[in-house]
């Protein structure tokens, strides 16, 4: 069985994006004998190559070619954590554990939606109680 040392990482379409304070590139990963390469492992290798911290490397969109042994995806390497938090989408920051996305339970969201159906205009924003029908 192949191990992680047989993994080769090649970059294509490299571009330094000064406006967004990052380096961006398409990455080809050749991994014969392995099903896939973990993003954590990839981040460590790319951080070493680009002399950066692992937290500033954002790999995403990897697709394994038919037959296996080769994957292609996209990588962004930010200059600083501030620029990463400023320009990177929140879901990608959450994936890496840099930001916490708090979600309200699905049932609570649906209950709030149905309560708001009974309200009109600015009452919805204030969250006032629905008026009882006088029958």
pLDDT at 50: 93
pLDDT at 3: 65
Q: How many CB atoms lie within 10 A of CB 29?
A: 22
- pLDDT beneath 50: ranges in the chain: 1
Structure tokens at 2: 């192949």
CA distances from 73 to 11, 64, 121, 130 (A): 10, 9, 47, 51
Could you tell me the pTM of the whole model? 0.76
Q: What is the DSSP letter of 55?
A: G
Q: How many CA atoms lie within 13 A of 39 on its CB side?
A: 16
Q: Is 123 helix (H, G, I), strand (E, B) or coil?
A: helix
pLDDT at 24: 96
Q: Which helix (H) or strand (E) holds 45?
A: helix 39-49
């Amino acid at each position: 069985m192949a191990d992680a040392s047989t993994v080769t990482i090649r970059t294509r379409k490299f571009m330094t994006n000064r406006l967004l304070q990052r380096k961006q590139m398409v990455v080809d990963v050749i991994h014969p004998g392995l099903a896939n390469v973990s993003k954590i492992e990839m981040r460590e290798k790319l951080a070493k190559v680009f002399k950066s911290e692992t937290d500033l490397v954002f790999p995403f969109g990897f697709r394994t070619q038919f037959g296996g042994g080769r994957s292609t995806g996209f990588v962004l390497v930010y200059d600083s954590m501030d620029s990463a938090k400023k320009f990177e989408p929140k879901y990608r920051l959450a994936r890496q554990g840099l930001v916490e996305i708090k979600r309200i339970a699905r049932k609570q969201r649906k209950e709030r939606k149905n309560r708001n159906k009974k309200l009109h205009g600015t009452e919805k924003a204030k969250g006032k109680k629905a008026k009882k029908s006088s029958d």
